[in-house]
Structure 1
Amino acid sequence: MATRYEHLFSPTNIGKVQLKNRIVKTAAQTYFFESGENRVGTLAKAFYGAVAKGGAGLVITETPAMEWPLLEEGDRRFRIDDDKYIKNLSELSAEVHKYGVPIFSQLYHRGPWGGIYALIAEPCAASAVTYPSPFDVHDEKPPHVLTVDEIEELVDRFASGTARLQAAGWDGIEINAAADHLFHGFLSRFWNKRDDEYGPQSMENRTRFIVNVIKEIKRRCGQDFPVQILMNAIEVGLPGDEALSIEEAKEIAKIYESIGVDSLHVRSHWAGMHQGSYNQENMFYPEPHIPLSEFPKELDWSHHGALAQVPLAPIIKSVVKIPVMTVGLIDADSGDEIIRTGKADLIGINRRFFADSNWANKVREGREEDIQPCTHCGTCNTNYNEVRYCRINACFGSESYEMEPPAEKKKKVVVVGGGPAGMQTARVAAARGHDVTLYEDGGYLGGAVALAAMVKGFDIEELPKFLKFFRTQVKKNGVNVKMRKRFDDASLAEEKPDVLVVATGGVPTKPDVEGYELRNVTKTADLYKMLKMMIALVGPQMLRKLTKIWMPVGKKVVVIGGEIQGCQLSEYLIKRGRDVTIVTEGDEMGEWLVPERKTRLFYWFDKKNIERLTGVKLVKITKEGLTIKTKEGQTRLLKAKTIIPVLPFSPNTEIADRAKGKVAEIYTIGDCDSPAVMPDATKAGWKLGNSL
């Protein structure tokens, strides 16, 4: 099939393994594996099989557990430390091979990581060096220094594990010697302070560990078994001059090639910025932690993190002849251009496959409007050692990546509410053959998502793409949309639906505090109504610009509500010159915020001296502000010109209750049923649309 992305979809090789195109599904933890002996189950086979079927040229799975000893239960990574796992692992390679796609796995050892990544095996490293950072995963406690015997055991561990993968049908491996993992700690003079044959005194010593691993793998698996190395082309963010430089990285790349490495995957590492080093849009949230002018010049920061790594690939490519891969929020257009201009040979894609496992096929076929877009929300990094999920792809983490077949009986379905849950239900039900009508009493489809986009901004999260996808799919699937039409008893009598789906969103929760009716309180219902009207008139982008000029909000503000809504509104207000205090009656602040974004937002709040109070009791609102009782029992007046309650919504079952006894099937989904966040809404709509 002809495609305008001829370079991206041209075949290539890694060693003797042929790839049908240049698109590589890169490794990233999904935690789709099971505990126990049979770790490859339906979740892992469904996802990696879907990506292979979806058009990837190569699938690289997440790493198995390489830090031993391990518990058999409670670790959702697969294992390669015993022959007993080989038979079960072969089911995964067979699933990927069904679609003519080779499978690799990334192997890495966490090394000095601590925190939520702590295991039975103690954190270890080349040397007992620490560099604490609020954005990192290293403990302040120095790691265990590996002995020579332990290093040699690790060489065997990686080689024997790779041999088991080969026996299970794997076509190659990728070793992660980048980021802040174990191998990089030997390569960088900042982290390596040893005085033995693995020390920093020469490049031969620094590379000895990883070189011995590669040589042993090649010895056991054969020279034709491909080994790709993920490497740092530069390390930044450290004091002094001992961080890994580009010139050192070039020398290391040549060493890799000389010992038989088949390809290189090139990235960078910003010390103390673990997640920001590979999901680099995080470096801009909510604002850069240092002036942008002080960001490393070797990377491209002109796209708010996207394409930042790309300039490093041609630097490494200039000194080797083996294929080089680049990564980092690369889309089809930029990927094709990178291949065409020779900057890299392979394009690494990860989160786009999380959002749509069929991404590559849709790109090749020119079906861009049918791609579920990754909007860089960070949802897929929300949880650790639990099945991960995606904001837009309700299938991610499930046993199937296909819509259910057409319904046996066509039904007349009425969906009330055009938010994400309503649009998802409507488009899926219509695609399966039902006659679907969607009622929306506002001036646009999208519900609170358009409002969230206006608050969040458009440089980091691309929520307009989220909205465009669902609006397009609703239209393409023939949903009859009735805009600015309130669904009432007359509408119910006129439609006579077989199925009524109520997705109207929740109702604002009113705080239980005296003085709520005062004029200095911005009522949640009034605020939402006004903003939705303005968005319908001028759109979220223009409204966001206009609010930088004027807002009906005083200079000193108290926000009641510490969940995601209150925290993000506070960020928005602070950026518009307001002095904000955030209070919550709950014990914690920031519920539903993605952990990395929460860390960075609270760090930013601290720099801005934004007071955040948890566990308070709301006492009284007066024209002077809000009186509270702190969890320590102190009574305080928080002076404010404007008080804005931003609490999670409450269920809204009014329409469903009125329709009882008049419609055979009634469903409430989204915030009107169980107020939560967007991933819950899209998943609820997908599940319901497929069940009708």
Structure 2
Amino acid sequence: MKGIEESKGISRRSFIGGASLAALGASLAGTGLLGGCAPEPRAAAPATAEREALASTGAQGLSGTSAYAQINPQDWDFTTNSIADLASTTMASELAIGTVTMKNRFIKTAATSGVCNDEQQAVAYFGNIAKGGIGGVFVEGSYCLCEEVERRYSSSSMGPDTRLYIDESPLAAIVEEVHSAGVPVFVQMKWGTPGIVYTWGNTPAEGSQTRASELTDEDIAFFIKDVADSAKKLQAIGFDGVELNCAGDNVPAWFLSRLRNDRPADDAYGPATFENRTRFVAECIQGIKAACGADFPVQVRMNGIEENDSPCGQSAFASPVEEVCELAKLLEAAGADSFHLILGVFENHEAQFLGDGFFGGFGLDGTNGFGTFFDFSRHFGGHLDGSHSGVGLMLGAAAIVKQAVSVPVGAATYMDPAIAPDFFEEAVSSGKIDFLFMNRPVANADPDYPTKFFENRIEDIRPCCRCLHCAADFSNHLGVMEGCRVNACKARAFTEAMPEGYEPLAAEGQKKVMVVGGGPAGMEAARVCAERGYEVALYEKSGSLGGLLSFAELVKGRHENLGLLRDWMARAAEAAGVAVTTGTEVTAETVAAEAPDVVILATGGSRAELGWQGTDATPVYSINDFMAAELGENVVVAGFNAQAYDVAQYLLAYGKKVTMVAADPIEGLGKGQSTKMLAFTTPGYFAAGGRALAESAIESVGEGTVSVRTGTGTLIELPCDAVVDASDMLPNTGLADELSGMSVVTVGDCADPWDIQAAIATANLAARAC
């Protein structure tokens, strides 16, 4: 039992790298997993052919072998591109919404930007998207609600009009900026946004119940008139059209949905007939047309298909796609010029626009935030293809609605054609869908996405990671709730942290910058320094760049596009002129010989010695050795951090019985993952049998057991065939300490171990400041 003997007393090393991973075979050699700047790890258990296959399956982004992983098995064969010239595709062609022609089929959908309270930020944000080649821009409704168009309303006690004046908002400046790029711009008229309190005539004292009965007839009349008046003001500002948000939790959706339309059966706005259900929205459309002219475009955003997620599948009042077709036909007759379809799910608000969360846990595809799982072959009428990790999830439903109406139909749910050009071109060219409504890939990750795409430079597109750090990430380590993992400028440009805006300032004078470490922090720092005009050399100890990204892709699968991110960062650094040297360990003597003006250390975090020994029956493996080992059925994972959480889900997907143990409180489970992603994946983890012992510590490892001291002081014994040590990393400042007297900056896990987003952000800011 050579592997078990070697595992005893393993040192906890830097998270990146691992000679033991060579045993996974040539299938993993190209991932960069062997890289790293930490001390050379020792060998662990040799891999069997079975373990090689298992690990390489994870690398390919498949689902795992557990029963839960088979509910929605994943297939990545759709990610192909056989198109010689993307500029000649249907996706690149123009199409009109009413009287307004969109430049191409990529449309920036209205979504929370996090910049609506600052005109400089907002104008630059939308301006960058417009200049990046997008076909059309839809501005989020937060501007209308929070500042200048809507009013907080109570029919019983009207009170003063609390609206700010139109000229106090940034909307006029946004319109001018977007139009200067030759791009049409619409604005979403949105209701029901969190933080905005509406008191309707029948709203109960404890707050809104999101039911149509809350509105009296007087409320309805006021609402319809106010929509028309507001649209007229928006038209005067210069908007080319409006989008009525009649989806999700917004007021108009209360009337379209049978679940929320609880008005009497004989009520003119009640649920008894399709005509009555659509009457409220139809009269809003007609009011806008009367106020703004018949040629002023009105797009309707509505649930394209509905399903209940709590309790899962009990959907007697959910609208199947066939009902949506009937509703859409009546709204088209009322004057709707186009439709924007989203996923209609109840109870879990974020699921309506963050469908990525369904697929965020490796092997837990379909988890809905309530500890239950959608089976996409059955739920939603079987019209959604859940085998592509949520990419283009709404295409099936959109195709059915499109056949029912004569106006353009678009849909959201991770529309990212750079992932699968053939797949999306076929959807558009065959008439399944007219527009691809996109947000995060263009608004956050890369505003130049459309231009790069249609210039056949897909490899130059900075990929969205679908990590949901951009969506109200309340536990964000750096305090940026609407940021972006891959683009440090998002939510920082023109703030105190980044007053210069999106573009880093050109260097003043010449500097020789030495970056040590080729993980995400090192590659980001090197690229930004080079783009500023400095002479930059990047040194990586291993034979390839990537660091943590390669390991993260293995345990997460392909959902978060981390392999694409690694490749983009490496190419971007070299394209900026960074001189890259791999296979070289940097010491203080190396730095002295190079004599740089600035040293940026991105050498990753380190790990202390293990606090316990393994046994023959229960070996202990480090986090970078476990894939090459026979772990048995019961596995204990030490740690609650993002890496430990990913490892635990990976093992669970392959049928292991997993228990996580950490000193952290339970709120720390998955720390480093985004708040919204955890809201989906954590219930799924527990539903699939995963356990987590918070405020606890492993005291000893026995023969087939582990003893754990809980927060109450109780000592419990768990069956355990292997322990994976994924305890928190520590700062790795040894080299920095040796370079006293030089200009040295530590970034990423080297300075403060946390997550990929923090590594990239700290590196970007450091490079701008040096």
Question: TM-score with structure 2 length normalisation?
Answer: 0.77
Q: Distance in 2 between matches of 1:404 and 1:414?
A: 19
Change (3 A) 1:183 1:431: same
1:478-489 equivalences in 2 (<5 Å) = 478-489=577-588
What's the offset of the Cα at 1:553? 2.6
1:427 aligns with 2:532: no
Corresponding residue for 1:349? 438
Q: Structure 1 pair 367/619, CA: closer, same or farther in 2 (3 Å)? A: same
Within the alignment, does 1:668 sit opposite 2:746 as a pair?
yes
In structure 2, the CA distance between the partners of 1:93 and 1:12, relative to structure 1 (3 Å rule), is same
SS at match of 2:599: strand
User: Counterpart of 1:418 in 2: which secondary structure?
Assistant: coil
Q: Which residue of 2 aligns with 1:32?
A: 115
Of stretches 94-103 and 352-361 in structure 1, the one that deviates more from structure 2 is 94-103
Equivalences for residues 113-262 of structure 1 within 5 A = 117=194, 120-121=197-198, 145-195=214-264, 196-237=267-308, 239=314, 241-262=316-337
Deviates more, 1:567-576 or 1:605-614: 605-614
| Partner deviation per Cα, 1:504-549 (whole Å, 9 max, x = no partner) | 01112557x5x3587856364xx43x57xxxxxxxxxxxxxxx5xx
| Structure 2 counterpart of 1:359 | 449
Counterpart selection for 1:555 from 633, 638, 647: 633
* Alpha-carbon spacing, 1:81–1:311, altered in 2? closer, same or farther (3 Å): farther
DSSP 3-state at the match of 2:137: strand
| 2:755 is the counterpart of 1:677 | yes
Asked whether 1:318 is paired with 2:398, we answer: no
Distance change >3 Å, CA 119–CA 584, structure 1 → 2: farther
**Change in 2 beyond 3 A, CA 1:80/1:86:** farther
Aligned residue for 1:98?
180
| Residue equivalent to 1:398 | 492
C-alpha separation in 1, matches of 2:152 and 2:733: 48
Write out per-residue CA displacement over residues 396-425 of structure 1, whole angstroms, 9 at most, x where no aligned residue: 113266432542323221110001010011
Which residue number in structure 2 is paired with residue 269 of structure 1?
Answer: 344
**2:389 corresponds to which residue?**
304
CA displacement 1:322-365 (0-9 Å, x = unmatched): 22223333305244443332333322111111210111111122
Quick one: structure 1 residues 576 and 18, their matched pair in 2 at CA, closer, same or farther if it must change by over 3 Å?
Answer: closer
Q: Which amino acid aligns with 2:432?
A: K
Matched, 1:688 2:766: yes
Q: Which residue of 2 aligns with 1:16?
A: 99
Instruction: Give the % identical residues.
Output: 31
**What SS class does the counterpart of residue 234 from structure 1 fall into?**
strand
The equivalent residue for 1:494 is: 593
Q: Which of the residues 616, 641, 663 maps onto 2:696?
A: 616
Find the counterpart in structure 2 of residue 132 from structure 1.
none
Closer, same or farther: CA 615–141 of 1 in aligned 2, 3 Å:
farther
Q: 1:98: Cα distance to partner?
A: 2.1
Match of 2:518 in 1: 418
Q: Which has the higher contact order (CA 8 A, sep 6+)?
A: 2
1:539: which partner in 2?
A: none
| Aligned partner of 2:463 among 373, 379, 386 | 373
After superposition, what is the alpha-carbon deviation per residue over 1:570-590, rounded to whole angstroms, capped at 9, x for unaligned?
111222332221122122223
Q: Deviations over 1:596-643 (max 9, x none)?
A: 332333222322333312222554455564433323332323342323
Structure 1 residues 158-167 or 356-365, which shifts more? 158-167
| More divergent stretch after superposition (305-314 vs 207-216) | 305-314
The equivalent of 1:74 in structure 2 is none
Verify the 8 A CA contact 2:247 2:342 in the aligned structure 1.
yes
Moved more, 624-633 or 149-158: 624-633
1:522 aligns with 2:620: yes
Shift in alpha-carbon separation, 1:509–1:229, aligned structure 2, 3 A: farther
2: CA distance, partners of 1:434 / 1:386: 29
SS in 1 for 2:239: coil
CA drift of 1:372 comes to 0.5
Please tell me the residue identity of whatever aligns with 2:757: P
- Preserved contact between residue 519 and residue 547 of structure 2 (Cα < 8 Å): yes
Decide whether the 8 Å contact of 2:102 with 2:184 is kept in 1. Answer: yes
Tell me the distance in 1 between the aligned counterparts of 2:757 and 2:241. 34
Q: Do the aligned residues in 2 keep the contact of 1:509 with 1:648 (CA within 8 Å)?
A: no
Instruction: Give the one of 713, 726, 733 matched to 1:653.
Output: 733
Q: What letter corresponds to residue 503 of structure 1 in structure 2? A: A
Query: Take 1:438 and 1:364, find their aligned partners in 2: how far apart are those partners?
Result: 32
Partner of 1:408: 508
C-alpha contact (below 8 Å) 2:365/2:389 kept by paired residues: no
Q: Offset at 1:485?
A: 0.8
Rounded Cα–Cα distance in structure 2 between residues aligned with 1:5 and 1:376: 28
The residue identity in structure 1 corresponding to 2:620 is T
User: 1:622-681: CA deviations, max 9, x gaps?
Assistant: 5564433323332323342323332221111111111122x3x21111111122211111
Q: Which amino acid in structure 2 is aligned with residue 226 of structure 1?
A: P
Equivalent runs, 1:283-302 vs 2, <5 Å = 283-284=358-359, 285=361, 286-288=364-366, 289-295=373-379, 296-302=381-387
SS in 2 for 1:4: helix
Amino acid at match of 2:183: V
The residue number in structure 2 matching 1:543 is: none
Name whichever of 383-392 and 347-356 sits farther off.
Answer: 383-392
Q: Is the 8 A contact 2:299 2:337 kept in 1?
A: yes
Tell me: CA distance 1:300–1:291, structure 2 relative to 1, closer, same or farther (3 Å): closer
- Report the equivalent of 1:586: 664
C-alpha separation in 1, matches of 2:695 and 2:167? 49
Change (3 A) 1:80 1:433: farther
Summarize deviations over 1:239-280 as a string: whole Å, max 9, x none: 354322333222222222222222111334233454344443
How far, CA to CA, are the matches of 2:709 and 2:733 in structure 1?
A: 34
Listed as ranges, the gaps of 5+ residues in structure 1 are: 35-39, 72-78, 112-116, 129-137, 532-546
- Give the C-alpha shift of residue 177 in structure 1: 1.3
Change (3 A) 1:3 1:408: farther
How far does residue 368 in structure 1 lie from its aligned partner after superposition? 1.8
Letter in 2 for 1:199: G
**CA 1:142–1:338 in 2, change beyond 3 Å: closer, same or farther?**
closer
Distance 1:617-1:318 versus aligned 2 partners, 3 A rule = closer
Residues 616/3 of structure 1: CA separation in 2 closer, same or farther (3 Å cut): closer
Amino acid paired to 1:317? K
Q: Which runs of 5+ in 2 are unaligned?
A: 1-84, 154-160, 367-372, 495-500
- Report Cα offsets for 1:128-166 as digits up to 9, x if no partner: 9xxxxxxxxx99998973222222232233333323322
Change in CA separation of 1:126 and 1:373 when aligned onto 2, cut-off 3 Å: farther
Worse-superposed segment, 440-449 or 316-325: 316-325
Q: Distance in 1 between matches of 2:377 and 2:399?
A: 23
Following superposition, the deviation at residue 290 of structure 1 comes to 4.1
How far 1:427 moved relative to its partner? 1.7
Rounded Cα–Cα distance in structure 2 between residues aligned with 1:201 and 1:70: 30
Partner of 2:646: 568
Could you say what secondary structure the match of 1:318 adopts?
helix
CA distance in 2, matches of 1:69, 1:327: 28
CA distance in 2, matches of 1:186, 1:441: 61
Q: Does 1:471 align with 2:575?
A: no
- 1:75 aligned residue: none
Contact 1:355–1:372 (8 Å) recurs in 2: yes
- Judged with a 3 Å threshold, the aligned counterparts in structure 2 of structure 1 residues 92 and 689 are, in CA distance, closer, same or farther, namely same
Partner secondary structure for residue 717 of structure 2 = strand
SS state of the match for residue 620, structure 2?
coil
Residue of 604, 623, 627 corresponding to 2:684: 604
Q: 1:248 to 1:81 in 2, by over 3 A?
A: farther
